[in-house]
């Protein structure tokens, strides 16, 4: 893993304030992917169906939940010209077939161009590392607004 600066994370480079949802109300994984697809179609002119299908297909290959109430759904999207990261904190936890059996509250979405460079692997590794930190998850859960959430992702480098 390459060294990180003390000021920013790879995730923060690709995450914008408009792609942070706090207390998103969804009933299940299908509802979550639908909400993500609708948002990305509106904000980034991506096909809702393509986003939903790509995330769902990846999920069928194995749950993207990593434990501790966290999932990192990710997919390659044809025609995407850059890496996109979005974060959702769910109003109520949903089942995600997590390895520890815990329902998911924190969702970090990663969409990468197809064909993809290896940079998304660095982001996935960073996300897994960040979310494995209980204090980071607790501060994220307590985050009051998208600005505070963005700040947390930007500056949390403890142990990286």
For the stretch 106-148, pLDDT in tens is 999 999 998 767 888 888 899 999 999 999 999 999 999 999 9
Give the residue numbers annotated as catalytic, written as ranges.
74
Domains in the chain, CATH or no CATH each? 10-142 (3.40.930.10)
For the stretch 45-96, pLDDT in tens is 999 999 999 999 999 999 999 999 999 999 999 888 899 999 999 999 999 9
- Global pTM value: 0.90
Q: What is the pLDDT of residue 157?
A: 65
Query: DSSP readout, 53-107?
Result: HHHHHHHHTS--EEETTEE--EEEEET--S-EEEEEEEEEEE----TT-PPEEEE
Contact 114, 80 (CB under 8 A): yes
Would you place residue 5 in the very low, low, confident or very high pLDDT band (cuts 50, 70, 90)?
very low
For the stretch 10-23, pLDDT in tens is 899 999 999 999 99
150 secondary structure, DSSP code: H
């Amino acid at each position: 893993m390459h060294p990180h600066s003390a000021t920013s994370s790879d995730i923060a480079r690709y995450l914008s304030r408009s792609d942070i949802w706090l207390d998103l109300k969804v009933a299940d994984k299908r509802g979550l992917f639908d909400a993500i697809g609708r948002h990305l179609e509106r904000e980034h002119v991506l096909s809702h169906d393509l986003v939903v299908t790509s995330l769902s297909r990846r999920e069928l290959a194995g749950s993207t939940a990593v434990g501790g109430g966290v999932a990192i759904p990710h997919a390659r999207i044809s025609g995407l010209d850059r890496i996109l990261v979005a974060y959702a904190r769910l109003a109520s936890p949903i089942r995600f077939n997590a390895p520890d059996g815990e329902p998911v509250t924190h969702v970090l979405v990663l969409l990468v161009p197809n064909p993809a460079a290896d940079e998304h692997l660095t982001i996935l590794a960073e996300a897994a590392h960040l979310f494995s930190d209980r204090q980071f998850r607790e501060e994220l859960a307590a985050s009051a607004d998208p600005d505070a959430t963005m700040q947390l992702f930007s500056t949390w480098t403890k142990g990286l």
